[in-house]
Amino acid sequence: MESEIGISCLQCSSDGITMLSSSSEIPYFGEFTQITLCCDNCGWKHTDFIPSDGELPGYCSLILDSPQKMEARVVRSSSCTVRLPELDLEVIPGGSSSGFVTNVEGLINRFEDAIGTIVRGSLEGPSKESGDAIQLLERLSRVKSGNEVVTVELLDPRGRSQIIHDQANQRQLDEKEMQELPTGVDIPISDLPS
């Protein structure tokens, strides 16, 4: 379903944001609604996933100790913090954070892409930062091949994110964790499809 909603674009402030919504089902995750907001003026886009079930602030983790776990499905909402604590890597929600559905390998690829940008941006030649970034890329490659064990963690104060795997650990976030976590931008959506 497509409709124009009465909010201004968060990037360029023009009126007339378009909202696309569709409901479908992800196996083992359940029914959800995907909401995408778009600005025709500047091209800004925001996507999020809203599960049909109740949303409790959630923590989900999976120990990546085999290449087969790279295939585990990941649903990440725009309010989710993603961590690889053993590598001291973290992505927090921000103003342009969007939700997505991928697998663990795709999640690691996103980390690799971001770190690769740092390496390519080292115009002055090798530096400590670019050397550290190259080491992280090597470690992420070992994780994907099953030669280094790390944990992937999803922390979502809105409870819209999940790792779908029979060995994933899930629990509700406690008050302290919720207070420490950013949620990204709150998009006011009053016209959700029923």
Gyration radius of the chain over CA positions: 18
The fold adopted by the segment(s) 54-180 is: Jelly Rolls (2.60.120)
pLDDT above 50 for 190: no
pLDDT for the residue numbered 193: 42
What is the pLDDT, as a whole number, of residue 192?
A: 44
Query: What are 155's two structure tokens?
Result: 């922390």
Q: Which residue has the higher pLDDT, 191 or 73?
A: 73
In this prediction, residue 32 has a pLDDT band, given cuts at 50, 70 and 90, of: confident
Task: Reply yes or no on whether the pLDDT at 55 is more than 80.
Answer: no
pLDDT digits (tens, 9 = 90+) for 121-131: 766 666 777 78
How much is the average pLDDT of 20-41?
77
Sign of CA dihedral 118, 119, 122, 123: negative
Contact of 59 with 170, CB cutoff 8 Å: yes
What is the per-residue pLDDT across 86-128, written as a single tens digit (0 to 9) for each? 999 999 987 777 788 899 999 999 999 999 887 887 666 667 7
Q: What pTM value is reported for the model?
A: 0.72
Q: Is the pLDDT of residue 138 over 80?
A: yes
Segment 134-159 mean pLDDT: 95
Regarding predicted confidence, which is higher, 153 or 157?
A: 153
Residue 160 exposed, middle or buried by CB count within 10 Å (0-12, 13-18, 19+): buried
